[in-house]
Structure formats: structure tokens, C-alpha cells
């Protein structure tokens, strides 16, 4: 094996991309990961560090560049991971996302030739995010908003976040200037001092309504009235300003203490013709237009009948179940965040939907409860977080014998793992459709159909 020393330079070909967008280089079989290097590029690589199984390198010189390279990207977007695929043209991003799913199904589920559909593009490829969670820190003594450099907590000041709705960027920059003017202190996570930790902004795509959440280390908010007046005068679309107090020292953005500082504690958006109230702690897909495409595909895969009982598991504020409720007999939803369940119940009411029942709890537990209550779903829609489905959930879902499982996944690795279990227990994977909810980033989203084998 070659001996590598820091700062050694090698002339190498980039052969692949990791799922997080780093270029892959191999020297005598030993892999290096290189930021901002694309497949087919030949580079002079400088060794940064090496470990037992892999190392990290840096581009010293590009000898050739990929025809798919986007050259006018601000490199801070790569450094921070705001847009870790921003240097790759959009068509290639879509292909790469599909390829990842194909490879995971082949590796994990031994489905080498599964016909994964072409990735459906996002209607907007920049300026699409309806939510921003922006850290506030002091840089050289000045309060700044921006994003952390990857794998670190060094703040890179950013004003144009590229993939966020520009109205959100405007609110963040205005709030930053206001905090400076009012002499409010940025949070210092090393010393656990200071006040303002994060500014979180949500903007409803269809209505333009805005919610601002100030995440603070302490309750007492110096000059709060000045801040509220200035913000709401400048941005009449602000319907809600919240304060969340997070006294912990970990990485979680929100603490448990919420207060309304101004207006309501929710904003309203519209998806697929239904209105949704969204509260601060509730999950809501960040790319609304692309999520509408995702839900439409999920509903198509479900092939609903008017007599169907449908379970909407991991239901959030009810967006999937309520989108399909009018086509079926009854929808049962389950979600672990109580505020989101309150939103879902209210959203059923607001849309005059009377055949949807939402329960607070863990999907794996509530699924078993429903089973013992004799609820017999025909279709189960699941939309779990990255860790995928719990084994207990899969067992109950299989035991109840639903005709179809529609699986929405934001993590193709856990999806492939769960497909293996469903197939062992009598279901077959029929369709996989990637939908790009996160342009310019490495995140992959898909919807799949599993059917009971007769």
C-alpha cells in the first residue's frame, strides 16, 4: 500500500460521488473523499488526512473539468452544505439520486434490476424552501446570521441562501440588522452565554403568510417591543412571531418552552386545494410544489376505492391523509408530535372532512392498538423519518394484511432495509418513484408501492 503524507500531491481521476456529494478518488484501492470534485474530472489532489480505511483530499489543480460542472456557484454553498450539489448541473443531480436508490436496492435488497423510475424534477430548482433555521453567532464581535461550515460550528455569514424563498432571506437579514441595532447578544455555544441562538422563518408558499421564531437561551427578551414593531411594520405578511426558549447546550434547535410574542401561533398554507394550519413544532414539507407531486404519486399508487380504510402513519399535520380522505371511507392518522396532531384535527375541520381520525402516539404502538381494536386498513401510507420503520410497525402492518403499503421515504438506505422485511413477510415491491424535493442538495426522496402477494 502506498504511504500517504499530509500535503502529498497525486494526479488522479475522480470516479464517483459519495451520497453527500464528495468526489471519490482511489489510489491503489485506497479511497479519498474530495470536496468540489466531480466524476470524470482529472485533478491534482493534495492529501489532507488519512485514516485506516479512507482519507480526505483537496483539489490542488483541476486538470480537466466535468461537462456537468456548474461554474458560477458560490463556494460557500458547498462549504456549508446549504447546496452541497450546487456544482453539479440539475439533470445530473436527478440521475445521481435515482442511481443511489438503484444501488441501495441492489446491495441491500438484492434487486439488481429493479426498474426505479426517472426522478421527477422539482418545479423550482432554487428559491424553493419554505423554511429556514438560521444560527445566530458573533463573528469578530459582530452578530451574524449564516450557516455552519460542514462538520463544524464555525459560522459563515450568508445573506442569500440560494435555495430559500427570497422573502425568507429578507426577513432574516432585516432581523439580523434589528438585533444588532437593539444591542441583543448572539449566543456563544462554547461559553453558553449570550441570548439569540437561532432565527427560524416559515413562509407559506400559497398564501405568503410568515412565521418568525426567535430561539433564545433565556426568557427575558430585551427590547422585544422594538423588535416586534419593526418586523411587523416592515413585513405585513408576518402573522405569527414566536419565542422558543432553549436552555440546553446540545444541537437540538428547539427547547420545550414556547410563547406567542405576536399574532397567532400558526400560519396557513394550501396544498392540493386544501388549507393547512401549521404550528411551529409541526413538520411540514419544505418544498411545497414538489411535495404536491409526491403526494399525487402516493395517491395514484394507492389506487383508492370508495370503501377503503386508509392509515396515514407519521401523519404530521395531516397533509397526506386529508388530501385523499374524500376518495375513501375513513382515514386513521398517527403522529408522535401532539401539536401536529392538533393541527391535523383542526385541518380536517377547516376542510370540512369528517371521516379522518388522528391519534397522538408512536406509530409502532398505535398500529398495534388499532389491530386489537379490529381496524382493518386496505391501504397503509407510511412517511417515516430517516431511521425508517420500526420492526414492530412492520409486523403489525403485515399482520393486518393491507392490500397495499405506500412507502414515502427520505432515506433510501432504511427504505431498502424495510423492503427486505416486507418481502420476507409476503409483500412485493412494485414501483419506486424518486421525486426531487431538495434540489441542489444530496437529499433523496421517493415514493414506493408494496403489494400483498396473493
Angle, alpha carbons 258-260-264 (nearest 5°): 125
Instruction: Identify which of residues 328 and 334 has a Cβ nearer to ligand SAH in the complex.
Output: 334
Cell of 238: 408576518
Instruction: Identify which of residues 150 and 362 has a Cβ nearer to ligand SAH in the complex.
Output: 362
Q: How far is the CB of 269 from ligand SAH (least distance, A)?
A: 11
Q: Going along 63-168, which residue ranges are E strands?
A: 131-139, 142-148, 155-157
Instruction: Identify which of residues 90 and 283 has a Cβ nearer to ligand SAH in the complex.
Output: 283
**Within 132-191, where are the H helices?**
166-181
Q: Which whole-number Å values give the CA distances from 290 to 19, 97, 123, 381, in the listed order? A: 21, 15, 6, 18
| Residue 40 CB neighbours (<10 A) | 13
Active site residue 182: no
Please tell me which residue in 410, 446, 447, 448 is annotated as part of the active site. Answer: 410
335 is in an annotated binding site: yes
Closest CA to 279 of 220, 239, 251: 239
Classify residue 189 by its DSSP letter: T
> In b/e form, how buried is each residue of 159-195, taking b as 16+ CB within 10 angstroms?
eebbbbbebbbebbbebbebbeeeebebbebeeeebb
Q: Which whole-number Å values give the CA distances from 114 to 91, 414, 448, in the listed order? A: 21, 17, 12
Instruction: Identify which of residues 32 and 283 has a Cβ nearer to ligand SAH in the complex.
Output: 283
**Burial class of 12 by CB neighbour count within 10 A (0 to 12, 13 to 18, 19+):** buried
62 is in an annotated binding site: no
Q: How many helices (H) and strands (E) in the chain? A: 10, 22
Which residues sit at the interface with ligand SAH, rule CB under 6 A?
A: 283-285, 314-316, 319-320, 334-337, 340, 362-363, 383, 385
Q: How far is the CB of 296 from ligand SAH (least distance, A)?
A: 13
314 is in an annotated binding site: yes
Instruction: Identify which of residues 123 and 281 has a Cβ nearer to ligand SAH in the complex.
Output: 281
What residue is closest to ligand SAH based on CB?
A: 316
Instruction: Identify which of residues 314 and 415 has a Cβ nearer to ligand SAH in the complex.
Output: 314
Q: Which whole-number Å values give the CA distances from 366 to 60, 235, 335, 377, 413, in the listed order? A: 55, 42, 9, 13, 25
Q: How far is the CB of 13 from ligand SAH (least distance, A)?
A: 39
Q: Which residues contact 225 (CB under 8 A, 6 or more apart)?
A: none
Q: How far is the CB of 349 from ligand SAH (least distance, A)?
A: 18
Q: How far is the CB of 360 from ligand SAH (least distance, A)?
A: 9
Q: How far is the CB of 421 from ligand SAH (least distance, A)?
A: 16
Closest CA to 196 of 177, 169, 170: 177
Residue 309 pairs in a beta bridge with: 330
Residue list for the binding site for S-adenosyl-L-methionine:
285, 314, 335, 383
**Residues making up the binding site:** 285, 314, 335, 383
Active site residues: 410
Amino acid at each position: 500500500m502506498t504511504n500517504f503524507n499530509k500535503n502529498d500531491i497525486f494526479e488522479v481521476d475522480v470516479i464517483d460521488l459519495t451520497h453527500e456529494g464528495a468526489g471519490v478518488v482511489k489510489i491503489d484501492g485506497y479511497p479519498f473523499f474530495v470536496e468540489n470534485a466531480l466524476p470524470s474530472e482529472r485533478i491534482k489532489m493534495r492529501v489532507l488526512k488519512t485514516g485506516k480505511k479512507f482519507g480526505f483530499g483537496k483539489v490542488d489543480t483541476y486538470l480537466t473539468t466535468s461537462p456537468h460542472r456548474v461554474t458560477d456557484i458560490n463556494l460557500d454553498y458547498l462549504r456549508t452544505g446549504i447546496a452541497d450539489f450546487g456544482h453539479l448541473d440539475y439533470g445530473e443531480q436527478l440521475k445521481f439520486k435515482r442511481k443511489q436508490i438503484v444501488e441501495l436496492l441492489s446491495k441491500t435488497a438484492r434487486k439488481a434490476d429493479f426498474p426505479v423510475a426517472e426522478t421527477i424534477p422539482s418545479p423550482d430548482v432554487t428559491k424553493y424552501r419554505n423554511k429556514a433555521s438560521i444560527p445566530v453567532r458573533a463573528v469578530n464581535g459582530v452578530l451574524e446570521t449564516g450557516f455552519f461550515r460542514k462538520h463544524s460550528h464555525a459560522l459563515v455569514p450568508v445573506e442569500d441562501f440560494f435555495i430559500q424563498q427570497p422573502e425568507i432571506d429578507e426577513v432574516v437579514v432585516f432581523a439580523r440588522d434589528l438585533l444588532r441595532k437593539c444591542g441583543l447578544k448572539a449566543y456563544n455555544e462554547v461559553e453558553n452565554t449570550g441570548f439569540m441562538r437561532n432565527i427560524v422563518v416559515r413562509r407559506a408558499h400559497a398564501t405568503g403568510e410568515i412565521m418568525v421564531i426567535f430561539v433564545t437561551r433565556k426568557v427575558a427578551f430585551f427590547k422585544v417591543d422594538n423588535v416586534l414593531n419593526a418586523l411587523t411594520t416592515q413585513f405585513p405578511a408576518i402573522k405569527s412571531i414566536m419565542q422558543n426558549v432553549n436552555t440546553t447546550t446540545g444541537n437540538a434547535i428547539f427547547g420545550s418552552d414556547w410563547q406567542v410574542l405576536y399574532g397567532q401561533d400558526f400560519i396557513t398554507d394550501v396544498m392540493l386545494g386544501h388549507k393547512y394550519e401549521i404550528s411551529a413544532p409541526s413538520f411540514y414539507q419544505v418544498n411545497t410544489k414538489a411535495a404536491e407531486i409526491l403526494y399525487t404519486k402516493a395517491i395514484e399508487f394507492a389506487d383508492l376505492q370508495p370503501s377503503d380504510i386508509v392509515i396515514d402513519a407519521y401523519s404530521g399535520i395531516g397533509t397526506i391523509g386529508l388530501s385523499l380522505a374524500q376518495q375513501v371511507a375513513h382515514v386513521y392518522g398517527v403522529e408522535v408530535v401532539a401539536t401536529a396532531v392538533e393541527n391535523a384535527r383542526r385541518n380536517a375541520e377547516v376542510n370540512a372532512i369528517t371521516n379522518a381520525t388522528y391519534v397522538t402516539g408512536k406509530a409502532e404502538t398505535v398500529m398495534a392498538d388499532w389491530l386489537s381494536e379490529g381496524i382493518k386498513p386496505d391501504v397503509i401510507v407510511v412517511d417515516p423519518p430517516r431511521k425508517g420503520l420500526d420492526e414492530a410497525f412492520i409486523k403489525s402492518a403485515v399482520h393486518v394484511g393491507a392490500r397495499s403499503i405506500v412507502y414515502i421515504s427520505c432515506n433510501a438506505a432504511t427504505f431498502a432495509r424495510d423492503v427486505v422485511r416486507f418481502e420476507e413477510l409476503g409483500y412485493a415491491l412494485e414501483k419506486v418513484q424518486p421525486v426531487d424535493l431538495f434540489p441542489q442538495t444530496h437529499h433523496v426522496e421517493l415514493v414506493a408501492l408494496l403489494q400483498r402477494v396473493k
